[in-house]
Amino acid sequence: MVKELTRLNQLSGSSRHRQRKGLQRLQHHLQTSALAEISSLPTKTVAIGNAGLACGLSLKDITSVLEKIETVEDLIHDADHKPSYVVRLVPDKPFVLVEHCCEKSAKYAVQCLTGFVFQLNNGTQLPWYPAFVSCSSPTTVINPPTATRMPPDLVLLPDVITEAEEDRWTQFADDILANMTEGPERSTGKPASTVLKNRTTFHYGYHFQYGTNDVDLQKPIQPIPDMFSNVLQRFIKDDHLSVVPDQLTVNVYDPGQGIPLHVDTHSVFEDEICAVSLGSSVIMDFVSSSKHLPVVLPPRSAMIMSGESRYAWKHGIAPRTTDNLPDGETSWRRSRRISFTFRKVRNGPCRCMYTEYCDSQKGQVSKTEVNATLPNGPSTNTEICSPDVEEKFVHEVYEQIAPHFSETRHKAWPKIASFVSDLLPGSVLLDIGCGNGKYLGSSGGKLIEIGCDRSSNLVGICRERGFEVLVADILSLPYRNSCCDAVLCIAVIHHMSSEERRVQALSEIARVLADGGLALLYVWSIEQNRDQKKSSYLKSKKELKEPSGESSSLIGDATCSLPVHVNRTAFQSPDVLVPWHLKSKQEVASSSCKDGDKVFHRYYHVFREGELRQCCNRVSGVQVIEEYYDEGNWCVVLRKV
């Protein structure tokens, strides 16, 4: 073994030339990744070019070579020297970083690996190019995440068809490809087909038109072949599908081909979309406004999208020849893959709650047309609401309910209190939307605490308690630039009636924050039941009696009409009016609502997962450093950069 490894360093002239070229490429990849730079002096960290995940190597492949070097090094050095190393993989990069226990071990590794050639299972030879490097930051080089998650409402079913069925389906596709002609075919018995840049497709039932991303309901084509009926009936019987599909698209991907990120057109197909994969395993990327979830689709599996995963997450396959598992330990080279995607065409517009992505509802933003659409259901488009809604259903309401509201707000939330307690002594803390001042004064004098609120009556209550507060609108804060070390903004932004106004509020928060300052934001979540656990809002034992008809009533005028939410129930719409039953101080201790209670309605936009982060990402000069869910609220910590 010693003889074999030392021989690797005896390079010919042409080999030395290739080595120089390989190191130049490694330097380029390191610079573009901003992770490390090649060092002229020995260091403990070694970068190995042509040996990363993007080359089709796994952690096991790399460590198998390093272990041999370690074994030999252990034999030739003194007994007190125990070589060790940490392999740091970088997703989608053609190099790996190896951090050795000392420079001595790193030197020996570079000596042994110079000129080494790794042979893949398919016979491909990969010469390795090792070099000492200095890392720009130890925190920027990490192994790929080990946790793999799927978007909400996505179902992945393994081995839904047998190997024999896979062979028949594959032969079916091959026969079609052998006799395929492009264009819609309705009389020849051939399916409609399209040759795209990154894949070949053919269709049954209805021809999907990629230029317009729709189908022509008036021009059906050859129906889905009977050979798929048994599998589809199994899906129906096992409750994986609720309706029998009437449209099939077959995609044939050669190695290196993919499909761009997209959301299947809402108005064209019904909720459920089922894709059966044959041939090669592949990673399908799911992307929302703030998350990227890679999902492995193994052969003979079925992926069923519905709900949020179907309507609000983009999905696609990157055009590459190699896939790497998120755990960083497994990679593979793609072979040919065939997918069979079954869908049910939709008759009529889509009425989903994901209006931001819905082609049926994006056009319904005209204020004069809102009431005309109500017979088909209340509008959920957030852009129909105006500042008048905030004035009538937020500002005026809080002015009238301020004393009662204050009586119900005493206990500080633990994570908010922890955020405040972690601030450095002497920091300036601004509480925007401070309400009755629940979080002011909680530092025990450690911080300089100031607050503001849009309600003059709530500000008056704060002043009675001795707090430094003033009346202010979050959209135009009366504070100097960069004057605060930290900001609290709890339960405020969800009262903004459009995304643009929410972003403007966040921009004002960013403006008053000092460089490096932190802001903690809380907004109400549309998901009040998460991970099979109800929020405290749903679990509350208080039974709030609603006026009759509130569950389906609409309140508004010619400008805007909004559904009225039933308290202590799951939200049915992202934009709602939430009742507040006004009581006297003597009644506050009672948990029940009386018929004589005066009812006010507060406007809320309840946020989907990732939506608050999406708004934050539109604001320059800040970055989201933490996002979490807390008892029915979405929460974000921002840092001014």
User: For the segment 553-592, what is each residue's pLDDT rounded down to a tens digit?
Assistant: 445 443 456 888 888 788 888 999 999 887 654 444 444 4
225 versus 561: which is more confidently predicted?
225
Rounded Cα distance between 297 and 282, Å, is: 5
Residues 6+ apart with CB under 8 A from 612: 493, 521, 523, 627, 634, 635, 636
**Mean pLDDT, range 473-502, rounded to an integer:** 93
- Res 53: pLDDT: 80
Rg of the chain taking only CA atoms, in angstroms? 31
Q: Which of 298-312, 560-574, 597-611 has the least mean pLDDT?
A: 560-574
Which residues fall within 8 angstroms of residue 320, CB to CB, at 6 or more apart?
256, 258, 334
Number of domains in the chain: 4
Q: For residues 301 and 165, what is the distance between their CA atoms, to the nearest angstrom? A: 12
Domain end (from 107, 135, 163)? 135
H/E element, 500: helix 499-512
Could you tell me if residue 420 is inside a domain? yes
The reply to whether 208 falls in a domain is: yes
Rounded distance, CA 543 to CA 132, Å? Answer: 68
CATH number at residue 232: 2.60.120.1520
pLDDT at 539: 61
* CATH of residue 427: 3.40.50.150
Domain-terminating residue out of 108, 135, 162: 135
C-beta of residue 157 within 8 angstroms of C-beta of residue 302: yes
Whole-angstrom distance, CA of residue 480 vs CA of residue 498: 26
pLDDT at position 439 is 93
Quick one: pLDDT at residue 359? 82
Using CA atoms, how far residue 492 sits from 160, 394, 474, 522, in Å, is 48, 10, 9, 8
Report the sign of the C-alpha dihedral through residues 478, 481, 483, 484, in that order.
positive
SS3 state of residue 508: helix
Same domain, 437 and 506: yes
480/417 same-domain check: yes
Q: Per the domain annotation, does 8 fall within a domain? A: yes
Query: Parallel, antiparallel, or unpaired: how do β-strands 469-471 and 448-453 relate?
Result: parallel
User: What is each CA distance from 438 to 57, 441, 470, 537, 630, in whole angstroms?
Assistant: 56, 8, 15, 19, 18
The answer to whether the beta carbons of residues 300 and 158 sit under 8 Å apart is yes
The count of C-alpha atoms lying within 13 angstroms of the C-alpha of 552, restricted to the half-sphere facing its C-beta, is 5
Q: Does one domain contain both 463 and 551?
A: no
The packing angle between helices 103-113 and 59-76, to 10°, is 110
The predicted model gives 60-81 an average pLDDT of 67
In which band, very low, low, confident or very high, does the pLDDT at 328 lie, cut at 50, 70 and 90?
low
- In the predicted structure, residue 378 carries a pLDDT above the cut 90: no
Do 170 and 308 belong together in one domain?
yes
Query: Using CA atoms, how far apart are residues 257 and 339, in angstroms rounded to an integer?
Result: 13
Q: Rounded to the nearest 10 degrees, what angle do helices 396-407 and 456-464 cross at?
A: 30
Q: Which domain holds residue 186?
A: 154-345
Which pLDDT score, from 0 to 100, does residue 557 have?
A: 44
Is 391 domain-assigned? no
Per-residue confidence band for 377, with pLDDT thresholds at 50, 70 and 90:
very low
Residue written as token pair 């896939």: 323
Answer yes or no: is 20 within a domain: yes
Domain co-membership, 252 together with 202: yes
Q: Percentage of the chain with pLDDT > 90?
A: 42
Phi, psi dihedral angles at 31 (to 5 degrees): -65, -45
Instruction: Please state the pTM of the whole predicted model.
Output: 0.42
Structural domain contains residue 271: yes
Instruction: Judge whether 563 lies within some domain.
Output: yes
Q: Is the distance from CB of 241 to CB of 304 less than 8 angstroms?
A: yes
- Distance (Å, whole) CA 59 – CA 330: 7
Chain mean pLDDT for the chain: 80
Segment 153-205, tens digit of pLDDT: 999 999 999 999 999 999 999 998 887 755 445 444 566 656 655 678 889 99
Tokens describing residue 346? 């939709």
Average pLDDT over every residue of 22-38: 86
Residues 420 and 535 in one domain: no
pLDDT, one tens digit per residue, over 227-272 is 999 999 999 999 899 999 999 999 999 888 888 888 898 999 999 9
Residue with tokens 């230029």: 211
Q: Residue 273 pLDDT > 80, yes or no?
A: yes
18: domain CATH number is 3.30.70.330
C-alpha triplet 633, 312, 529: angle, nearest 5°: 35
Within this chain, do residues 521 and 533 fall inside the same structural domain, yes or no?
no
All residues at 6 or more sequence positions from 128 whose CB lies less than 8 Å from its CB, including other chains: 48, 49, 50, 51, 113, 116, 117, 118
Arithmetic mean of pLDDT, 438-453: 92
* Residue 192 confidence (pLDDT): 63
Cβ atoms < 10 Å from Cβ of 424: 9
- Is the domain of 591 the same as that of 622? no
> Sorting pLDDT into bands at 50, 70 and 90, what band is 281?
confident
Determine the 3-state secondary structure of 585 from DSSP. Answer: helix
Region class of 125: left (phi > 0), else alpha (psi between -120 and 50), else beta: beta
pLDDT (average), residues 39-61: 87
**Cα–Cα distance for residue pair 474/510, rounded to 1 Å:** 11
Alpha helices in 200-261 (DSSP H): 229-237
389 falls within a domain:
no
pLDDT band at 9; cut points 50, 70, 90: very low
Q: What is the largest CA-CA distance in the chain?
A: 96
Binned at pLDDT 50, 70 and 90, residue 603 comes out as very high
Judge contact between 46 and 135, C-beta under 8 A: no
Q: Which amino acid, residue 290?
A: S
CA distance 444 to 463: 17
Distance CA 559, CA 415 (A): 39
Q: Are residues 339 and 419 in the same domain?
A: no
Using 50, 70 and 90 to split pLDDT, how confident is the model at 340? very high
What is the distance between the alpha carbons of residues 161 and 164, in angstroms, rounded to a whole number? Answer: 8
State mean pLDDT over 502-522: 95
Q: Are residues 234 and 310 in the same domain?
A: yes
CA–CA gap between residue 135 and residue 38 (Å, rounded):
9
- The per-residue pLDDT for range 95-135, each reduced to its tens digit, is 998 888 788 889 999 999 998 999 887 778 899 999 999 87
Cα dihedral 27, 31, 34, 39, rounded to 10, equals 50
Model pLDDT, residue 616: 94
pLDDT at 629 over 50: yes
The proportion of the chain whose per-residue pLDDT surpasses 70, expressed as a percent, equals 78
| Residue in the structure block whose two tokens are 């053609």 | 94
Structure tokens at 576: 């709602």
Q: Residues 482, 515: contact at Cβ < 8 Å?
A: yes
Residues 621 and 599 in one domain: no
What are the residues facing 98 on neighbouring strands? 46, 87
Residues 611 and 622 in one domain: yes
